Amino acid sequence: MEICEIFVAGAGLMGSGIAQICAQAGYQVVMRDMSDDILAKSLKTVKWSVGKLVEKGKVDGTVDDIMDRLAVTTDLAPAAEADFVFEAIIEDLDAKRALFAELDRICPGHAILATNTSSIPVTEIAAVTQRVGQVVGTHFFSPVPLMKAVEIVKGLGTSNKTVDAADQLCRSIGKEPIRIKIDVAGIVLNRINFPSVVEAIKLVESGVATVEDIDKGVRLGFARLMGPFETADMTGLDVGYRAMLTVYRETRDPKFYPPMLLQRKVKLGHLGRKTGIGWYRYDEKGNKLGPAEF
């Protein structure tokens, strides 16, 4: 199957990152979100990111060449021209199912629909469509332009042909696929990562160590780019909270249950960079000011 036109539903942190790497790889991309303001902000971020990569010689072409391949819209109608759709909206089953039902109606019969869910089983999303065999999971990691891994998830009804097509597309945009054979909540890497994040929060709750020292220790001791609290602030505490709950509800394993401190921060709206406060405090430009008080 030849893939030329890509539609990205969602222009947040993940959706804009996916749209960017597809445009960088030479694909024609349409990115959709609910408001012009969201799209304008995303385009500004993408242009800045592309500029940095071009400046460092890490991508071919000019900024204008790459940005010319990326269009934006508040309408789902352009999905009618798509060969492949990446969904990257809120981590909520009802919202994803509603979107996939619409995409299934609009998209051409050959189109593949992929979800960037980090925790919801692909099969539960695919069930609302008439093309179960053409629905697949493609879980990217943040920041998308820099992180190489992508989990390719085979739902219960996903065809091998669809998995192969998703694998080949992800390789063509510079990613290293990890094939997931059984569709479980949390997939694989989050099933490994969530218990460590839960433990990190509990260590802060009990006063054993600070947010800053745990992040520093993880960066220096485990050679990670970011610590668990820095990562949570970037992706959004609400995103992590919902994902943990999804895995907990399927497994009933307490190691996945969101700690009380995380629950309280989400209820207060302390969601990370996007709200100016999460585990750290941020200025209007998103620069870290210091740890948040709690």
Residues classed as catalytic? 118, 139, 151, 190
Query: How many CA atoms lie within 13 Å of 238's alpha carbon, on the beta-carbon side?
Result: 14
- Alpha-carbon radius of gyration of the chain: 19
Number of residues assigned to the chain: 294
Rounded Cα distance between 62 and 74, Å, is 26
Cβ within 8 Å of residue 29, ≥6 positions away: 6, 7, 8, 19, 22, 23, 69, 70, 71
E strands of 181-291, at which residues?
280-282, 288-291
Rounded Cα distance between 211 and 213, Å, is 6
Tokens 């934006």, residue located: 72
Check: CB of residue 199 under 8 Å from CB of residue 256.
no
Q: How far apart are the first and last CA of the chain?
A: 53
What counts of helices (H) and strands (E) characterise the chain? Answer: 11, 10
What are the angstrom distances between the C-alpha of 126 and each of 84, 100, 105? Answer: 15, 7, 13
